[in-house]
Amino acid sequence: MGRPPSKNNSLTEKATLVASLAQSGTPGSEMEKMAALLNRKMLKEEAAEEEERTIALAAREAGAKSMQNKRDMELYQQDNCSHTKPLGGPAIGGQRDHKNDYHFMCLFCSKMWLNGELPSHLKISLDRVGGPTA
């Protein structure tokens, strides 16, 4: 059998060899090298996927921690806020909703109160609280 000069020749040869080895189950040589190569490639891909999962998980945890920190900071600020203006008087804004409930909010720390929850020293004139006309 002649060998036509082709650049695909060695590739074809290898493929033929692998195929015959696969059929005969002969151990060693090209087949095992290729299997080992494939194995390494798969292990590498698995490791990369595992790393991706680890990073994603860490990012999620960091995000949750960051949100909790932000909430903690908010609560700390609200606990330590006088809710009054620097020169005195409540720093409170309010809004009346369609159910005639009053919502009050500190303009500095964003703490909120509903109706009578607002401490008396922070009460503002309800004339200044807007909302839908009944």
**Which residues in this chain contact Zn ion in the complex, by CB under 5 A?**
81, 83, 106, 108-109, 111
Distance CA 65, CA 107 (A): 26
CB of 92 to Zn ion, least distance (A): 8
Distance linking the first and last C-alpha atoms of the chain: 101
Q: Is the CB of 31 or the CB of 94 nearer to Zn ion?
A: 94
Contact indicator for 112, 105 with CB cutoff of 8 Å: yes
Q: Which amino acid is at 124?
A: I
CB of 56 to Zn ion, least distance (A): 37
CB of 129 to Zn ion, least distance (A): 17
**Helix, strand and coil in the chain, % to nearest 5:** 55, 10, 30
